[in-house]
Amino acid sequence: MQGLNPIEPHIQKPTDCIAYLALRFPATYAQIASALLQISERVPEWRPQSVLELGCGPGTGILAAKSVWPGLASATGLDQEQLFLSLAEEILYGSQMALDATWVKSTVLKWVQSEEKTTYDLIIVGNVLNELPQEERDILIQKISSRSGGIVVFIEPGTNVGNTLIAEVAGMVSGVQHLIAPYIDNTLVENGDFWIHFSQRFQRPEFQRRIRQAMRESPLMASDWEDAKYCYVAWGNVPGQKTIWGQCVGHVEKQKGFLTIPVLTKEGVIHPRVLKRNKADYNYAKNIRWGELLESPITTS
């Protein structure tokens, strides 16, 4: 975790932006779209009209949000890098998505400390926290909800650092804001030794696969699929939240004669065991997907 000292920006020159587009963008699009889909499952009737992405880079979260909620009418992307904003504008234009977009060159800190009162239905902060010093993170997390008219979501890579950052955000907002996802019934669960994170498989187009290959030491061609791991937390005041018992937070593990499933419940992460001899329960449980919402408890006897 970084302290108060300014963090060296990851993006320092134009080629860094292009490299980000070529390499990271498909993965961050996959993780953000996947997190937003999970949120849409939790609040199936919610239809946001406006989205703001802080630290938008090439507009990743905005594009993902429009694919999950096609009714989105307006988008604001904020970033401190003009080249990223220009790329975001060009990509959105090329996508032909019907979205009234505004691009703002600013720092996150300036935005959150401004007198501006506009609120947004959906605010996305994707893969940015790890670039902010602790002091800025704290200010952002404390103030961001006042600019939300719906849901705020923070997403980070599913790494040790990403998990620690998201756990920190969840800890700061819990008790003050209503947690929507991935937690159950607004109940914060400590990460402990178990990282609550998710995985989204995605496929790169051929030219990106070749770029990735060029960075590998192995002469064997890189696979055309990858898994983007991520963790996230979303909160807000949106009616119609789906009632569920738990969410699968990892792969089903098959053992001799039984399987176990890691499930996030409001009591914590549990690992119910389903015996193979209970055929119907076993057949149901073995097909549970990582990330799947579980409406009722898994039968274990």
Ligand X SMILES: C[S@@+](CC[C@H](N)C(=O)[O-])C[C@H]1O[C@@H](n2cnc3c(N)ncnc32)[C@H](O)[C@@H]1O
Binding residues (CB under 6 A) for ligand X: these are 11, 25, 28, 32, 55-57, 60-61, 79-81, 84, 107-108, 126-128, 131-132
Which residues have C-beta within 8 Å of that of residue 219, sequence separation ≥ 6? Answer: none
**Which CB, 62 or 170, lies closer to ligand X?**
62
Cβ-based nearer residue to ligand X, 28 or 38 = 28
* CB contact at 8 A, 50 and 73: yes
Contact 17, 216 (CB under 8 A): no
Q: Is the dihedral of CA 287, 293, 296, 301 positive or negative?
A: positive
Q: Give the shortest CB-6-to-ligand X separation in angstroms.
A: 10
Q: Name the minimum Å distance from CB 28 to ligand X.
A: 3
C-alpha to C-alpha distances, 251 to 263, 266, 284, 290, 291, nearest whole angstrom:
10, 19, 14, 6, 9
3-class DSSP state of 223? coil
In whole angstroms, the minimum distance from the beta carbon of 16 to ligand X comes to 9
- Residue 132 or 233: the one with the smaller Cβ distance to ligand X is 132
Q: 275 in helix, strand or coil?
A: strand
- Of 56 and 196, CB closest to ligand X: 56
Please state the closest distance from residue 241 (CB atom) to ligand X, in A: 25
CB-based closest residue to ligand X: 57
CB 27 within 8 A of CB 51: no
Q: How far is the CB of 1 from ligand X (least distance, A)?
A: 16
Nearest-CA neighbor of 50 among 135, 132, 147, 158? 147
Closest separation in Å from C-beta 261 to ligand X: 30
Token pair recorded at residue 152: 């705020």
Nearest-approach distance from CB 280 to ligand X, in angstroms: 42
- SS3 state at 180: strand
Ranges assigned E (strand) in 84-142: 100-105, 120-126
Residue keyed to tokens 């400390």: 113
Q: Measure the CA–CA gap between 233 and 154, rounded to whole angstroms.
A: 6
The smaller minimum CB distance to ligand X, of residues 59 and 262, is found at: 59
Q: Closer to ligand X at the Cβ: 166 or 244? A: 166
- Give the Cα separation of 123 and 257 in Å (integer): 46
In angstroms, rounded to a whole number, what is the distance separating the alpha carbons of residues 234 and 161? Answer: 18
Q: Would you say 22 or 270 has its CB closer to ligand X?
A: 22
Q: Which is nearer to ligand X, 108 or 274 (CB)?
A: 108
CB of 270 to ligand X, least distance (A): 31
